[in-house]
Amino acid sequence: EMFDHAYNSYMDYAYPADELMPLSCRGRVRGLEPNRGDIDDSLGKFSLTLIDTLDTLVLLNKLDEFEEAVKKTVRDVRFDNDIVVSVFETNIRVLGGLLGAHVMADVLKQRGERMQWYRDELLHMAKELGYRLLPAFNTTSGLPYPRVNLRYGVVNPLSRTGTESDTCTACAGTTILEFAALSRLSGDPIFEEHARKAMDVLWEKRQRGSDLVGTVINIHNGDWVRRDSGVGAGIDSYYEYLMKAYILLGDKVYLNRFNTHYSAIMKYISQPPLLLNVHMHNPTINVRSWMDSLLAFFPGLQVLRGDLKPAIETHEMLYQVTKQHNFLPEAFTTEFRVHWGQHPLRPEFAESTYFLYKATGDPYYLNVGQSIVEKLNTHARVPCGFAAVQDVRTGTHEDRMDSFFLAEMFKYLYLLFSEKSQLPINIDDYIFTTEAHLLPVSLSTTQPPCHTNNTEPQAHEDDLFSYSCPSAQTLFPNNPTFAKTIRDSYKYLTGVGRAQQLKLVAEVSQTPEHEEVVPLIVQLISPPFLGRTVLTAGSAKFGMDLTKQEVSPIRHVETACLLPKLGACRKSTVTLEGSSSAETPLFQMVGDGEPTNDITVPLVFLFSKEGATLTATLQEHHNVDVLLLPKEKQLGKEKPEKLNIKFRLAKEGDFAEGETESTTIQLVLEQSETDTETNNEAASLMRENQETRSSPQKDPESSP
């Protein structure tokens, strides 16, 4: 029913557009809506959501709808578009979607019940798209460009791309499943050859001391641009595709590489239940204190590896975070507070939940799945589909329903609650791509492994599951509660559900127990503003600390794009369209993993609306003098009086010097007879312990 609501909303309000805008009840057409930056590189005017959803229709037994959707795809979708798209996203969503749908169409046709008209049209479309992606691989290293023009390629003067020098590790290392499947289904080896070459380069460029890879790499010379290493955004599906390439293609080279990387991950990155980014050259150093939500796929990959204990631990940590915030925030700290509040309906947590249930058979994971379903219906469902959550702290929605929500979320949830007999295919005959498209493992028998693609043996120890999938009977022989014993250690990790304790403290501290974002302001003080225009701003974790240093008025305000001459600009900025400090919680700008000691200028962050105000002011007045300072120090504003509150234990009516009944609030703690007896016993026991203790007595006033 949930899938029907989402899919029918797309077909009714958005098709043939790439995506549905569920709040506006219309389609998102690239070029007609405000530019969202890199996010829009997924959109190629090729009915993205329809293609991404095709094999989901089969899995959910919607075979009539599938046949109709295939006919629409063949009739309406064209790839000869003058548009620049992400190679990574187009590969996993569109090429993968076409291949998965072709495989499903072929299965249904062979059964003789439907799709008798089908003549491999989807495979021909996939091959055409594959050829349109190939120009991206025309680099000296073999690593692909991050973007390609579907009509003009990369080097053509009309392509409007090809100037990039960097790509992410996952972007370069997440083509082997789709490209190899395309080669083996079509008979053209060129696709698999290019994907293998990119995987070979990433393997060769790993840090030999740690066996880790970085996050961003130069596509021309293979040098690492960002050396932070983790299992989340930027790297995630590279590791996934090494493991799954072995399963799909039967090539042991990929398994050897995966096992080598996996040993390094468990040695350096895995700090149960956390998965923390480290420096690839010095992996004993954590490079940041937060995690991103994309790493939620990793427990599912660990299930395929057979390493269930850390999978259970990390999954339970993630579940506790969802209990606290309803969904996984895009990023959260090691103390499980929100770092980035967005949640674009990502499916990775549901994916890992499904794999853990299949591995353990533990009904606990059905309950986890039920909580996902309920929270989606309660907090994301809108009249025209499901809307992404702009901030999990406020529950505000974003006018966005990504295609992966239909491609992945409903597959994993439906499979979680279904029996094998209820499915139209034998799910064990297929491997999931990173976009949850279904490719048959029988492809491994259609072509022998590539003999030139060798990996030297690595000096890591094989274990019981280095070359096999997990067996619950082997892992938990006659002990079905084993998974529960692992989970129980992390049951109250985030504090949710734990019995609260009353603490009396000697004095209320002015320093909160966790770091807060101090509101800053940009106050325009030159005529004609004279301090009356005040823009609320967020702070930065680098540059001058404006809460501790006074800053003289700044002239000639520079916008972010002009900052390189100050040595303070990073390579990318994120614009939150339509955001404002009144509607969106403040957050701090953080570094990108590189040292920030060289940044000494004062920096603040303005949301979209405040930034537009400042930009318009600069355009009108050219030179503007501003003050950057904490909000509480705003010029022309009275400072509020502070109220200091102290707590102390005393007998009722016992006032200290300077205290009177009119200025004192008394909290009377009453004891029952049972409490009195218990306290008397405790006091007696304490006296006995103190008499036998040889160490000096503590000052009674400093005791708890």
CA dihedral 408, 409, 413, 415 (to 10 degrees): -10
Are the C-beta atoms of residues 48 and 403 closer than 8 Å to each other? yes
Q: Which of 136, 42, 152 is nearest to 96 (CA)?
A: 42
Residue 501 buriedness (CB in 10 A; 0-12 / 13-18 / 19+): exposed
Task: Indicate if 657 belongs to the active site.
Answer: no
Say which of 67, 251, 316, 348 is annotated catalytic: 348
- CA-to-CA separations, 484 to 360, 479, 508, in angstroms, rounded: 10, 10, 39
- Does 434 carry a binding-site annotation? yes
Are the C-beta atoms of residues 235 and 229 closer than 8 Å to each other? yes
Pairing label, strands 430-432, 438-440 = antiparallel
Beta strand extents in 173-268 (DSSP E only):
216-218, 224-226, 228-229
* Token pair listed for 135: 């120009």
Q: Whole-angstrom Cα distance, residue 344 to residue 386?
A: 10
* Token pair listed for 563: 């900052």
Strand, coil or helix: what is 1? coil
Task: Indicate if 550 belongs to the active site.
Answer: no
Say which of 52, 67, 236, 408 is annotated catalytic: 236
Tokens 């010097």 — which residue? 657
Task: Indicate if 558 belongs to the active site.
Answer: no
* Token pair listed for 29: 């057409």
Q: Whole-angstrom Cα distance, residue 262 to residue 540?
A: 34
CA 581-582-586 angle, to 5 degrees, is: 40
CA dihedral 282, 284, 287, 288 (to 10 degrees): 170
DSSP 307-319: -HHHHHHHHHHHH
Are the C-beta atoms of residues 268 and 278 closer than 8 Å to each other? yes
Are the C-beta atoms of residues 457 and 259 closer than 8 Å to each other? no
Say which of 65, 89, 292, 391 is annotated catalytic: 89
Q: Which of 550, 530, 558, 576 is nearest to 614 (CA)?
A: 558
* Single-letter residue type at 267: K
Say which of 33, 192, 330, 362 is annotated catalytic: 330
Q: Please, what's the b/e burial string for 255-294 (b: 16 or more CB within 10 A of its CB; e: otherwise)?
A: bbbbbbbbbbbeebbbeebbbbbbbbeebeebbbebbbbb
Contacts with 365 (C-beta within 8 Å, 6 or more apart), sequence order: 353, 354, 356, 357, 416
Give the torsion sign (CA, 161, 162, 165, 167).
positive
Q: Whole-angstrom Cα distance, residue 466 to residue 352?
A: 20
Q: Where are the alpha helices (DSSP H) in 408-456?
A: 410-417
Task: Indicate if 335 belongs to the active site.
Answer: no
> Which residues are designated catalytic?
89, 236, 330, 348
Residues that constitute the known binding site: 434
Residues that constitute the known binding site for Ca(2+): 434
